[in-house]
Chains A and B, each alone.
Chain A
Amino acid sequence: MLALGVGSVAPIALAQPRDPAAKSLEGIRAQMEKGQGLYVAGNYAGAAEVFEAGYATYPYSAFLFNAGVCYQKLNDVDRALAKFKDYLRVDPSAPDADKVNARIAALEAAKSAAAAAAVVVPDAGADAGPPQPPKPAVVVPSGDDQNAMKSLVVIETEPDGAPLRIYQRVEAAALPFKLGAVNAGWKDVLATHAPANLTLDVGHYHVVVEKFRDFNASEADMDVSPGHVHQLKANLSQGAFMAFLRVSANVIGAHVWVDDQKKEHSEWGETPHGELIPGGRHNVLVEVPGFEPLLTQVELQHGEQKELDVRLSRVNYGVLRFDSNAPEIKVKVDDQPKGVWRSGEEPLDARIDSGSHKVTVSSDGRKTFEGMVVVPRGQISPVHVKMIPKYPRGPAWTQAIVGAAFLGAAIYVGTESNRLHDQLQADRSAGSLEPGDSRITRGRWFAVGADGGFAIAAVLGGIATYNFIKDPLPPSSVKSDKPLEFDDPMKARPTARLEVRGPKPLPIVERPKSRSLEFGPQATSSGGGLFLGGKF
């Protein structure tokens, strides 16, 4: 069974020609659309120049016709006639040859009438100087608008040589074309063989690839817009019409697999991506690191072009990527060890549930950082930990130790003093105390020493406390950079599309067909085989 696929893709930037022919077609398209744009804007001279240049580069008759229309708009009858005549000369079998001949005749008639009118013009006066040849007043046929531009339609088949027949809908109320039927309101405008480069008027056409060798006939509708290049390609081996699927997502560069949930083959493409695929029901898996995989189904009719716009949700975890100015740091998140990072190593990645988490970073000789860090969903948050050295406590410790020594000594000698005093008091009570008792002097000095020791210990304790508390250095801190997307081992890092606030879009959106001709990948998921596709 013979199949014909017609599709359309929108963003031209995403579909680059892959081969010289495609590049040539792209050049034709660019030239054609440029001239069309100037024409619509009223810059007929510029448009004519572009069409002329287009023809010089790509000798397609459509350029000649469109240039003639521009000259006609400029009342440059001679040049308009020349272009129309060149058009017929180059493409004598043009389906609209009759119309062009009529246009030529009308222009020539108008030109003749203008010349006659110039002969009967009265003399303006003897003093008026030498008479000037009168400028002919050409009456240009009206009714040319932006639809007057002709478009180039490229029809190819695989294999070449398939007979083609083009039907134009001439009545707007005509029923859809049905092969083999009378098809009132449709006009058979052309019969040729593929490949064919056709210059067609704006309108609705039906392309029929007639029975060819072992291939069955197939058909497709086609809208020809003004000043465009349309391409149709028929894969005669498919036996069915191809459909066109474009998958886009809120993440550019997400990987798409079609009918390959286990990802056993190469990816179908990266969002946004579109190409011809067989009609029917397809499983589409869209996946990118940092986002939950999305598996959905899409139903495509033969010849249908559909855009699947999916919205990926970020995973509910993120990664904190630690590094530091310290030679080595130990990282805990929610009091759970997450590893050790050393200078010169790759940053330490810690996968953590998204949300706010308590992060503790410690390093020998530096102040421990403890604080809350927000872990983004499905992203990597680089955390640069600035570990501040601990303020040296050596003097404080020295003071504390010396103070403690003084305190201990004071307690000892104070206790001794009390003991001696108690002894002396007991001896006094017993009547044995002599005034020169050495314990009196000793106890007195002990008391003095104890008081001095307590005083010094208090002073040193105070100084030590102050020095323990004093810390002119700031605390350790963290600085989080802008979150990064997860590393994608399959390619360069993807770029998330800017989140748009507002009503959540539907996961699948069918978009209207684009009228612009685009090039894009043309490999099907199934791999080889002949195909015919069209992009508009």
Chain B
Amino acid sequence: MRASYCAALLALASTACSWSRFDDVSNNAPVVVLHKPGSMKDGFGQSVTTARNKDQVEVLVGGPLGLSGAAVFQLGLSDQPSTESNDSAYCTGGEPCFLASSLAGFGTATGPDRVRPLCFAVGAGTVGTEGIIVRCSDGSEYPLAMPQDAKEVFDFARQQNQFEDFPLAADGTDNPSVLAATPTGKAAWFYPVGSLKFSELAIPKVLKDDSIGTKLAVVPVGDGRVYAVAAPDAGHVLLWKSDGSATSSYIGCLGGPPHLGRALASGKVTRGDDDADLVVSDDVNVHVLDGRALYNLPATTSTDCSFGALPAGALVNSFGCGSNRSATDCANSGFGAALAVGDLDGDGDGEVIVGAPNMTVREEKRAGAVLVYDVENSADTAFADIRFLSDASEGDVLGTSLTAPHLGTRDVIVAGAPGATKVAIFYCSALLGAGKAGGRCP
């Protein structure tokens, strides 16, 4: 008995001796955390978006609204990203700029004089003239024109020296159409592909809720686009479609579940077509709507907001929160606070990535988690994965913001945890098959 104790003690001593094993375990960790630039305030990671141009992939990380700008990080196509920002001057220059709560990335941006790679629309500001500010990886900036209502809101805010949000969204293509809105001005507009000019979306007067335009999404369907503008306080999601030109038509309003439109995202979710789909969350569930079905909706003047007008098959699936032993308390998890679509397994269609920033992780309240759902079709939806920070702490609120940059053969999850001033890149996924995981994954 005594010998066994001694042996156990020696074994303990010998294993504990190798402190270098912690280097081994932490080297090439499956999660990479982007470092907050010193110029940014806490709350780093409030918003994230991505842009890809050929073999260059960048992630733009926004800070706390009204307090900080955004910084861009180069991920490259491999799993060895730069964790230090190569440009943290987004929306922080000498000119006035209101960083948007949601950002838009351009693989290729058509500026006023030339085409620029890897640009991001970061908010409303002034670059010579007022507009939506686009800053590119080469450091150049240019404005996108804004409607008069938006200008007035901007001018007023600037005069009052108060923050004003101008949410943005892009369709995720290399040369995207961008959607913008001003909830204060109760207006929304879009920029057709390659256009510096805006095209206003006609919001029915009865649907002009105070929260309208706080969440946006652009769903590319063929050459056309479906623009989704949410008024989550009212639980409405207003839809327009455009054939790629500057004209658009209102095609209806989704509604019903409380706070429908808490978050919007677009991406190719369902298998069988090349069109993107719209992902909408409400207080409880996330709904996947077939992009093509939406695009096929006829123009309407109805202000009735429901799922009832949708054709059969338009609503691909709806699902709720999932949990496991480490991530719990779905009911209060804030499930659906952020959405993204990414092809995590590289099979050609994307998985729905849902942020649950208030989820309890390892008994740490509001540590936050990111849940992954593999939605194949209306009959096949699976809670596929859940991601959280291994060093989860209370108040991290991981999943406040989400994006899914494409790294060659697959997408990875980039999630903001502004409570921890972290933005984490999850390189591994339970959906990844053997041999596709890379060096960071088991």
* C-alpha spacing A344/B278, complex, angstroms: 106
Please state if B387 and A435 are interface contacts (CB–CB under 8 Å): no
Please state if A410 and B13 are interface contacts (CB–CB under 8 Å): yes
Assuming the A-B contacts A421-B22, A447-B19, are A435 and B442 also in contact, with contact meaning beta carbons closer than 8 angstroms in the complex? Answer: no
* C-alpha spacing A440/B19, complex, angstroms: 10
Least Cβ–Cβ distance between B432 and chain A, in angstroms: 9
Residues on B with C-beta less than 8 A from A410 are 13, 16
* C-alpha spacing A440/B21, complex, angstroms: 10
Least Cβ–Cβ distance between B295 and chain A, in angstroms: 36
Please state if B9 and A434 are interface contacts (CB–CB under 8 Å): no
Least Cβ–Cβ distance between A453 and chain B, in angstroms: 9
* C-alpha spacing A424/B24, complex, angstroms: 11
Partner of B390, one of A433, A448, A451: A433
Check if A415 is an interface residue, CB within 8 A of chain B.
yes
Segment at the A interface, from B208-216, B373-381, B421-429: B421-429
Residues on A with C-beta less than 8 A from B15 are 414, 418
Residues on B with C-beta less than 8 A from A438 are 391
Please state if A433 and B12 are interface contacts (CB–CB under 8 Å): no
Please state if A451 and B22 are interface contacts (CB–CB under 8 Å): no
Convert B7-27 into 0s and 1s, putting 1 for each residue whose CB lies closer than 8 angstroms to a CB of A. Answer: 001001101111101110110
Give the number of chain A interface residues (Cβ < 8 Å).
Answer: 32
Partner of A417, one of B16, B387, B388: B16
A-B contact pairs, 13 of them (CB 8 A): A413-B16, A414-B15, A415-B12, A421-B25, A424-B22, A424-B390, A428-B29, A433-B26, A434-B390, A434-B422, A435-B32, A440-B22, A450-B16
Residues on A with C-beta less than 8 A from B13 are 410, 414, 450-451, 454
Residues on B with C-beta less than 8 A from A20 are none
Across the two chains, which residue of chain B brings its CB closest to A411?
A: B12
Give the number of chain B interface residues (Cβ < 8 Å).
Answer: 32
Name A residues whose Cβ lies closer than 8 Å to a Cβ of B: 410-411, 413-415, 417-418, 421, 423-425, 427-429, 431-440, 443-444, 446-448, 450-451, 454
Assuming the A-B contacts A424-B390, A428-B25, A451-B13, are A434 and B424 also in contact, with contact meaning beta carbons closer than 8 angstroms in the complex? Answer: yes
Convert B24-43 into 0s and 1s, putting 1 for each residue whose CB lies closer than 8 angstroms to a CB of A. Answer: 01100111110000000000
Please state if B22 and A431 are interface contacts (CB–CB under 8 Å): no
Convert B385-420 into 0s and 1s, putting 1 for each residue whose CB lies closer than 8 angstroms to a CB of A. Answer: 001111100000000000000000000000000000
Assuming the A-B contacts A411-B12, A432-B31, A433-B30, are A448 and B19 also in contact, with contact meaning beta carbons closer than 8 angstroms in the complex? Answer: yes
Q: Which of A425, A429, A431, A451 has the most CB of B within 10 A?
A: A431
* C-alpha spacing A418/B15, complex, angstroms: 8
Please state if A434 and B16 are interface contacts (CB–CB under 8 Å): no
* C-alpha spacing A444/B21, complex, angstroms: 8
* C-alpha spacing A411/B26, complex, angstroms: 23
Q: How many A-B residue pairs have CB under 8 A?
A: 105
Across the two chains, which residue of chain A brings its CB closest to B388?
A: A432
* C-alpha spacing A410/B14, complex, angstroms: 12
Partner of A431, one of B17, B18, B391, B428: B428
Check if B77 is an interface residue, CB within 8 A of chain A.
no
* C-alpha spacing A258/B37, complex, angstroms: 124
Residues on B with C-beta less than 8 A from A423 are 390
Q: Which of B13, B32, B424, B427 has the most CB of A within 10 A?
A: B13
Please state if B16 and A451 are interface contacts (CB–CB under 8 Å): yes
Across the two chains, which residue of chain B brings its CB closest to A417?
A: B16
Residues on A with C-beta less than 8 A from B430 are 431
Across the two chains, which residue of chain A brings its CB closest to B432?
A: A431
* C-alpha spacing A436/B396, complex, angstroms: 14
Assuming the A-B contacts A414-B15, A433-B29, are A447 and B389 also in contact, with contact meaning beta carbons closer than 8 angstroms in the complex? Answer: no
Residues on B with C-beta less than 8 A from A443 are 19, 22
Least Cβ–Cβ distance between B404 and chain A, in angstroms: 15
Residues on B with C-beta less than 8 A from A417 are 16, 19
Across the two chains, which residue of chain A brings its CB closest to B9?
A: A411
Across the two chains, which residue of chain A brings its CB closest to B393?
A: A438
Across the two chains, which residue of chain B brings its CB closest to A425?
A: B25
Please state if A434 and B29 are interface contacts (CB–CB under 8 Å): yes
* C-alpha spacing A292/B269, complex, angstroms: 119
Residues on A with C-beta less than 8 A from B29 are 428, 433-435, 437
Least Cβ–Cβ distance between A166 and chain B, in angstroms: 103
Residues on A with C-beta less than 8 A from B33 are 434-436
Across the two chains, which residue of chain B brings its CB closest to A449?
A: B16
* C-alpha spacing A438/B32, complex, angstroms: 14
* C-alpha spacing A411/B422, complex, angstroms: 34
* C-alpha spacing A433/B428, complex, angstroms: 10
Please state if A428 and B30 are interface contacts (CB–CB under 8 Å): yes
Partner of B26, one of A440, A447, A448, A451: A440
Please state if B389 and A431 are interface contacts (CB–CB under 8 Å): no
Check if B441 is an interface residue, CB within 8 A of chain A.
yes
Assuming the A-B contacts A428-B442, A432-B31, are A451 and B17 also in contact, with contact meaning beta carbons closer than 8 angstroms in the complex? Answer: yes
Convert B97-140 into 0s and 1s, putting 1 for each residue whose CB lies closer than 8 angstroms to a CB of A. Answer: 00000000000000000000000000000000000000000000
Please state if B30 and A431 are interface contacts (CB–CB under 8 Å): yes
Please state if B19 and A444 are interface contacts (CB–CB under 8 Å): yes
Please state if B390 and A437 are interface contacts (CB–CB under 8 Å): yes
Pick the 8 closest A-B CB pairs, nearest first.
A431-B428, A447-B19, A414-B16, A450-B16, A427-B390, A437-B391, A434-B31, A431-B30
